[in-house]
Structure 1
C-alpha cells in the first residue's frame, strides 16, 4: 500500500497519493486502499488529541509569558497546530465521500 500513500510530515499521518482515477483501480485494489485508509483514518482523532494537548501546553505558557516576542512565537505555534487540526478533520471527513462513491 505504500505506493498509494505518502507520509505527510506536517499532519503526522499518511495520506492517499493515487496516480490514477479511482475507477481505473481494480476492485481488489480499491478495497485494499480503503481498508488501509480506514486504519489511518481511525488514528486521526488520537493525533488531534495530541495536537490539542500541545495547544493547551502552549496556551498555559502564553498565559505566563511576559516577553512580547516569545508571546508572538507561541501564538504562531498555536495557530499552526490549529491549522493542522483543521486539515486532519478535513482528511477524516474525506473518507465519507470516498465510501459514498464506492457504494454507488
Structure 2
C-alpha cells in the first residue's frame, strides 16, 4: 500500500499519492487503499494531540519570555504548528469515499 501513499514530513503522516484516476483502480485495489487510508486517518487525532502539547509548551515559554525577538520566534512556531493542525483536520474530515474526489 505504501506505493499509493507518500509520507508528508510537515504533517507527520502518509497522504494519498495516487498516480492514476480512481476509476482506473480495480474495486479490490480501491478497497485496500480505502482501508489503508482509514488506518492512517484514525491516527490523525493522536497526531493533533501531540502537536497541541508542543503548542502548549511553547505558549508557556512565550508567557515567560522577556526577549522580544525570541517571543516573535515562538509566536511564529506556534502559528506553524497551528497551521499543521488545521491541515490535519482537513484531511481527517475529508470524504471517506475517495472515488468522488478523483486522484490527488
Q: TM above 0.5, one fold?
A: yes
Q: Which residue of 1 aligns with 2:33?
A: 33
TM-score, structure 2 length as denominator? Answer: 0.92
1:62-90 alpha-carbon deviations (Å, 9 max, x no partner)? 00000001000000000000000000001
1:2-51 alpha-carbon deviations (Å, 9 max, x no partner)? 11000000000000000111111000000000000000000000000000
Pick 1 or 2: higher relative contact order, CA cutoff 8 A, min separation 6. Answer: 2
TM-score, structure 1 length as denominator? Answer: 0.92
Say how many residue pairs are matched: 101
Structure 2: stretches of 5+ with no match in the other structure: none
Q: Kindly state the Cα deviation for residue 93 of structure 1 after the two structures are TM-superposed.
A: 1.1
RMSD: 1.5
